[in-house]
Structure 1
């Protein structure tokens, strides 16, 4: 066989080492038997929704570009807040209300990594990082919820007294106060997926061999996210 298939010198070598296999065996976990129907506090999925985000941005390029090579994109959420606007039945001794309609406010940005070439024939590929902000809201109704959010009420009351010297007048120096505070678990969002559709172009058309210093982008993002709330749920223990 020809020596060209087995060269004496391997081109472009790098440091490497062979790994020694280690022995492993199955371990038996220590499990404490729970009650017949334990109560767990876990994140519960309230809803999963797809929100369409439409934004337009002008991104300056320095040095100017002659050709866009690749664009990588990611979505980052900086805010995802659920604001109840309609309530249903009261539960847990009338201290907690279920939410049947809410506004979901979201805010974040699209992080773009743009690789492009310049007019210089022997220049390196340039890289431009840009963040495109977005914000908005959507409605979630009872049909959108797998599990209705819950919100406990806080109350404050004040009792007043008559003036013992003149029962026609109230006392302004004596009150009885009662406060009831319920600390709720705040619903929150979790990213699932993002589908990007975009059109990138120069506002001023550039011919072959010409450059442009601004990239205009029209972006449509179908953003899917989960809305969760930490809840107490009773489960049936299996295998007992």
Structure 2
């Protein structure tokens, strides 16, 4: 029998640990060599915030009496740039894209925790995936840097009849086609900001259960559109100056 003044001893859960020693470190000497380099790097074409408005009905089984928490995330499944206007780049066969449609698709993943109608029942976890899709128009002023594309071409050469030079030959052709392979613009998810109203579409009294949750969601989705392009950069090549090497003289 436990006495009134007896105290319950706390449970001790020891963890094995090792104390780490410190390393010595020093800076690496560097040699700077003036140079002009051509870099192939991702370039930000546009950075936009899209306002996406969706409405969805989420069935709840078992029925809920109270929504406790809702965690949300956005996932992109498509970011595609479709050019619709171009200006030539002088001296090249490339064009700047000055207007385009940006198609965006993805899903809103919601984790809904709610209390069910049973007494002392555990919280129920409901995962809901809500799709969205649409497009925006990007004009010249919306681009931070223009996408560049080179067009492919096809040519056909026909010949005259070698007997009378009065009619074309239909059995002799010369074909030429040129295919330019372009860097595909792509998207990068930056931020998702959610505003939403969740409610039962049917009025219920306090403590009663409801099995359908209607959601009106406003999502401000920020993304970048990028394309890999080449740039010539003037600067210094940075080469580590390491001693005690193995290969070459002077070490």
Per-residue deviation, 1:73: 0.4
Question: Which residue among 188, 191, 194 is the counterpart of 1:193?
Answer: 191
In structure 2, the residue matched to 1:227 is 225
- Unaligned stretches of 5+ in structure 2? 1-6, 239-251
In the alignment, the residues of structure 2 paired with residue 213 and residue 34 of structure 1 have an alpha-carbon distance, to the nearest angstrom, of 70
The answer to whether structure 1 residue 134 and structure 2 residue 116 are counterparts is no
Per-residue deviation, 1:9: 3.7
In structure 2, the residue matched to 1:118 is 116
Per-residue deviation, 1:231: 0.8
Per-residue deviation, 1:117: 0.2
Question: Which residue among 93, 97, 100 is the counterpart of 1:99?
Answer: 97
Give the TM-score normalised by structure 2. Answer: 0.86
Per-residue deviation, 1:15: 5.0
Number of positions where the alignment pairs a residue of Structure 1 with one of Structure 2: 232
SS of equivalent to 1:235: strand
Deviations, residues 63-116 of structure 1 (Å, cap 9, x unaligned): 01000000000000000000111112324x331000111100001100000000
SS of equivalent to 1:143: helix
In the alignment, the residues of structure 2 paired with residue 169 and residue 44 of structure 1 have an alpha-carbon distance, to the nearest angstrom, of 54
* Within-5 A mapping of 1:177-188: 177-188=175-186
Please tell me whether the aligned partners of residues 58 and 128 of structure 2 are also in contact (alpha carbons under 8 angstroms). yes
In structure 2, the residue matched to 1:24 is 23
Show structure 1 runs of 4+ deviating over 4 A. 27-35
- Unaligned stretches of 5+ in structure 1? 1-6
* Within-5 A mapping of 1:1-240: 9-11=9-11, 13-14=12-13, 16-26=15-25, 36-91=35-90, 93-238=91-236
Per-residue deviation, 1:234: 1.3
In structure 1, the residue matched to 2:247 is none
RMSD over equivalenced CA pairs, Å: 2.1
Give the TM-score normalised by structure 1. Answer: 0.90
In the alignment, the residues of structure 2 paired with residue 8 and residue 122 of structure 1 have an alpha-carbon distance, to the nearest angstrom, of 27
In the alignment, the residues of structure 2 paired with residue 157 and residue 31 of structure 1 have an alpha-carbon distance, to the nearest angstrom, of 54
